[in-house]
């Protein structure tokens, strides 16, 4: 290949919101059109099983996330777009990596530690309710990344530790079995990663402050009207700092629009007007993709077909590489062994 590989996974729980769009989907789709990089984007459905035991939700979310990326114009001729569970080599590699990963390394993972801490606070046994999937999930994530020898992995700040673990695991494997893995790097874009939600805190499904990406127009407008503002009246000058509405507007605006809105704040634009402008801006950006989305979502077989094509391309990489790795650890045919 010779190209740099950029890879990221999207856990298939829930439905995409504006924060996901601005922070992850949009930059990834823009990057998918670039020459000179091989981008790999995948639906992390095995990761979904860690948090979700409702099969319908996992399936529905897989459909919605795949449809969203396709509707927004992911270039599937350039990017490889696949579903994790269609690539059995990823699970196989997970085991090879599990056998060399220090348990102590996993003990330090934030998600696991938070769960233990939570139990501690509730007076429960340290490991109460904690499944092995949660504990060893950084190893699955390392396999996702190392399987494709990804150089750059765009992620949110909360995932940086997992990338460090992936590097650690790769180094250990290379040390024992020879140079097989590239050491991946987390790419965190501070500019785009923090969209506030309706209440001003980071937009997140768990805060119940998120605006779903594919709300019908009227509902989108309503959701934007609910963004918190202060009680300043029209005509009173307003601050853009600490204004969730301004931050959301900015995330969709170009430089000229941003400047104009800043001026409007200073000139005392009414909150209702500012929200209306915000709605119009966002709606104009996503309206045509929304129509694509509606069409795709009612045609799951078409999406499945796209994913199968993606899996085929992914496996052109993973099948031979897994053969190499299997041999490296001594899982080999006996047929040609000279004794």
- Tell me which residues touch ligand TRP (CB under 6 A): 7-9, 11, 44, 47, 141, 144-145, 153, 155, 159
CB of 143 to ligand TRP, least distance (A): 9
**Which C-beta is closer to ligand TRP: that of 64 or that of 144?**
144
List Cα–Cα distances, 103 to 76, 94, 129, 163, in angstroms.
Answer: 38, 14, 19, 17
Radius of gyration of the chain (CA): 23
List Cα–Cα distances, 249 to 237, 240, 262, 273, 275, in angstroms.
Answer: 18, 11, 10, 12, 9
Instruction: Note the Cα 229 to chain centre separation in Å.
Output: 29
CB of 313 to ligand TRP, least distance (A): 18
CB of 282 to ligand TRP, least distance (A): 23
**Which C-beta is closer to ligand TRP: that of 111 or that of 228?**
111
**Which C-beta is closer to ligand TRP: that of 109 or that of 245?**
109
Tokens of 324: 């190499």
**Which C-beta is closer to ligand TRP: that of 7 or that of 72?**
7
Tokens of 251: 């995330």
Tokens of 33: 């059109």
CB of 89 to ligand TRP, least distance (A): 15
| Separation CA 28–CA 23 (nearest Å) | 9
Phi/psi at 130 (5° precision): -100, 120
Query: Residues near 223 by Cβ (< 8 Å), separated by ≥ 6?
Result: 198, 211, 212, 215
The residue number with the shortest CB distance to ligand TRP is: 9
CB of 186 to ligand TRP, least distance (A): 9
**Which C-beta is closer to ligand TRP: that of 159 or that of 198?**
159
CB of 47 to ligand TRP, least distance (A): 5
**Which C-beta is closer to ligand TRP: that of 8 or that of 243?**
8
């Amino acid at each position: 290949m010779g190209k740099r590989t950029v890879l990221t996974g999207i856990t298939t729980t829930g439905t995409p919101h504006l924060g996901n769009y601005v922070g992850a989907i949009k930059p990834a789709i823009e990057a998918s059109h670039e020459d000179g990089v091989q981008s790999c984007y995948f639906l992390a459905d095995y990761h979904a099983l860690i948090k979700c035991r409702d099969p319908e939700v996992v399936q529905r979310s897989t459909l919605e996330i795949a449809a969203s990326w396709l509707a927004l114009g992911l270039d599937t001729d350039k990017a490889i777009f696949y579903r994790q569970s269609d690539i059995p080599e990823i699970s196989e590699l997970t085991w090879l990596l599990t056998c060399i990963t220090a348990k102590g390394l996993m003990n330090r993972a934030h998600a696991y530690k938070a769960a233990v801490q939570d139990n501690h606070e509730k007076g429960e046994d340290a490991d109460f309710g904690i499944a092995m999937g949660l504990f060893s999930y950084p190893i699955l994530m390392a396999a996702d990344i190392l399987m494709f020898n990804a150089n750059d992995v765009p992620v949110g700040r909360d995932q940086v530790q997992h990338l460090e673990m992936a590097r650690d695991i790769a180094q250990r494997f290379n040390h024992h079995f020879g140079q097989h893995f590239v050491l991946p790097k987390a790419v965190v874009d501070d500019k785009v990663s923090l969209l506030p939600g309706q209440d001003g805190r980071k937009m997140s499904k768990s805060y119940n402050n998120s605006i779903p990406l594919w709300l019908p127009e009227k509902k989108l407008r309503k959701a934007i009207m609910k963004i918190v503002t202060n009680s300043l009246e029209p005509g009173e000058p307003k601050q853009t700092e600490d204004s969730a509405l301004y931050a959301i507007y900015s995330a969709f605006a170009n430089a000229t629009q941003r400047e104009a809105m800043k001026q409007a704040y200073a000139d005392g634009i009414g909150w209702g007007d500012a929200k209306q402008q915000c709605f119009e801006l966002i709606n104009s950006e996503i309206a045509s993709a929304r129509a694509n989305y509606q069409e795709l979502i009612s045609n799951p077989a078409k999406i499945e077909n796209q994913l199968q094509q993606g899996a085929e391309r992914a496996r052109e990489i993973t099948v031979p590489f897994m053969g190499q790795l299997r041999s490296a650890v001594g899982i080999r045919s006996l047929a040609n062994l000279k004794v």
